Amino acid sequence: MIGLTHYLVLSAVLFCIGLYGALTRRNAVIILMCIELMLNAVNITLVAFSSYIVPQLLTGQVFAIFVMVVAAAEVAVGLAIILAIFRHYKDIDIDNINLLKW
């Protein structure tokens, strides 16, 4: 029987894969993809809590919708920044884009 724990563990695994990718990859687009993976993991958690703990209230699903709204805004602005960087440096390797490092 599939319980709440299964969903939470799946979401934890997905989140950690995304975290590892976001920390280690050097391609900026891949890093954005990994952030999307982490946001999806959070959404799975919210929906699982919603349907197991307050099945009649849907609060978690409302939260998941807001996470999706913010994720869409984030990916639009993030990709715009990556495109602007690429146009300027002809490079999307994060290790080479160290303008803000000191």
User: Interaction with other proteins in 30-89: which residues (CB under 8 A)?
Assistant: 30, 32-34, 36-37, 40, 43-44, 47-48, 50-56, 58-59, 61-62, 64-66, 68-77, 79-84, 86-87
Closer to other proteins by CB, 56 or 100: give it.
56
Residue 99 CB, shortest distance to other proteins, in Å, is 15
| Segment (H or E) for 48 | helix 28-53
Q: Does 95 bind other proteins (CB under 8 A)?
A: yes
CA angle 54, 70, 29 (to 5 degrees): 125
Residue type, 92: I
Nearest to 39 by CA among 60, 79, 70: 70
Closer to other proteins by CB, 72 or 100: give it.
72
Cα–Cα separations (whole angstroms), residue 68 to 1, 23, 63, 72: 29, 22, 9, 6
Q: Does 90 bind other proteins (CB under 8 A)?
A: yes
Residue 51 CB, shortest distance to other proteins, in Å, is 4
